[in-house]
Amino acid sequence: MRIIEPVEIAPGMAVMEAFLVEPDAEPLVVQVGQAFQVASMLTNVPEADYPLWVSTTAYGVGDIVMLEHRNYEAFVANTNKNPTGPATDPPTWLDLGPTNRWRMFDDKIGTVTTNPESISLTIAPGRAVDSLAFFGLDAASIYVRVVDPYQGIVYESSVSPVSTDGINDWYEYFFAPVEVNEDFVLLDVPVGSYGSIEIKVAKPAGVAQVGALILGKAAVLGDALYGTSVGITDYSRKDRDDFGNTVIVQRDYSKRAEFDVMVPTSMVSQVQRLLSKHRARPLVWIGEASYQSTILYGYYKEFNLVISGPTASDCSISVEGLI
């Protein structure tokens, strides 16, 4: 079993006043203290959801604008009321969330980045990473290439997230519905501290979609055991009215899992420190990479380590996924 600690990717993370970075330049990385940050991310996803906010424009109720990579809807008619300014009563603007380009980096799986045919990115993570995780994925193929400034291309791979579950004969191969593993991980991807990673999520003749894209370095906790349980928490509303009729309002759901893990006794303290360190931030949890149901992006609610013997110990981890 592994976890992936995400590298934070957000607009405006590294502002480099001493340098001029051309729009089509290679990604440039800076380090501020211990936080490694992205100074440049190249992508084919346009940031043109709505018109940019202009201080001199008169906006009516329901008008939507973009500002600082987020979308805002006007609650009241206004002019020269900055959506990012101090809160007012009643509110002037409603924050609708990130723009399409940045939705896959907002720690929410249900807010998706979409683009016709493909989503392409070139990212310099600024630190050594070895794993990629995709959530809310809809694509026919994923292409990944890692370029090191000194060694050139050090990794190149093209994989398909299309599920083969239940395809046991030629009839199923030709007539069963095509299903995509919405949660998909790529492990052992060598990206050095100065390298860049190129990612292309392709869906020819369709719309490529990514709910969350996570880059990070994997850490091994132990071996996930049979007996691990998985499921979902459904947030839909299911009620009956006064006449007994069922009223169903479909809403989102989150994945959950109860992992049973065998941990080498020599690693018990290390695992405890690692999980304690990440007690309040979402991680990627991978019970077994080939089982989509055991891949989650979320928080652990609790964990328990039992020192069962001199060589092997037991660990139980309760994980709740993000929506």
Q: Which two tokens stand for residue 209?
A: 């979609």
pLDDT at 9: 87
Low-confidence stretches of the chain (pLDDT beneath 50): 14-39
Q: Candidates 1.10.569.10, 2.60.120.260, 2.50.20.10, 3.40.50.10190; correct CATH number of 3-47+102-218?
A: 2.60.120.260
pLDDT at 29: 43
Q: Which residues contact 129 (CB under 8 A, 6 or more apart)?
A: 7, 189, 191, 197, 215, 216, 217
Q: What is the pLDDT of residues 253-301, one digit of tens each?
A: 999 999 999 999 999 999 999 999 999 999 999 999 999 999 999 999 9
pLDDT at 301: 96
Residue of 78, 71, 140, 152 lying closest to 106 (CA atoms): 71
pLDDT at 40: 65
Q: Are strands 253-264 and 70-74 parallel, antiparallel or unpaired?
A: unpaired
pLDDT at 27: 43
pLDDT at 23: 43
Q: Where are the domains of the chain?
A: 3-47+102-218, 223-321
Please name the helix (run of DSSP H) or strand (run of DSSP E) that holds residue 274, with its range, or none: helix 268-277
pLDDT at 16: 34
Q: Which residue do the tokens 């979409």 mark?
A: 114
